[in-house]
Amino acid sequence: MADGRGAIGGLLLGIAIGAVLAILYAPEKGEKTRKRLARKGGEWGEKAAEALGSAGDIVEKGRKRFGV
């Protein structure tokens, strides 16, 4: 049985990489872009940690329910 955390982690990583690339190719000054990346990076990191924690809880509940 596949681990749900890996799939969700991969999805979140893909979204993060896509977002960073989109910001890097946006037509703004470098300094402004770096500041925005730093700010958003912290926000995205917190959201990703929360999502992974929630996903882990859901997977654990499912394992307990089905005895896996």
From residue 57, how far is each of 13, 52, 66 by CA, in Å? 19, 9, 14
What pLDDT is recorded for position 45?
82
What pLDDT is recorded for position 1?
42
If DSSP states are collapsed to H, E and C, what string results for the chain? CCCHHHHHHHHHHHHHHHHHHHHHCCCCCHHHHHHHHHHHHHHHHHHHHHHHHHHHHHHHHHHHHHCC
Tens digit of each residue's pLDDT (9 = 90 or more) over 1-18: 456 667 787 888 888 888
**The two three-digit tokens of residue 58, written as one number:** 């859901």
Give me the residue spans of the domains in the chain. 4-66
Euclidean distance between CA atoms 1 and 48, whole angstroms = 24
Tens digit of each residue's pLDDT (9 = 90 or more) over 22-66: 877 877 777 887 788 788 888 888 888 888 888 888 888 888 888
What pLDDT is recorded for position 30?
75
What pLDDT is recorded for position 60?
84
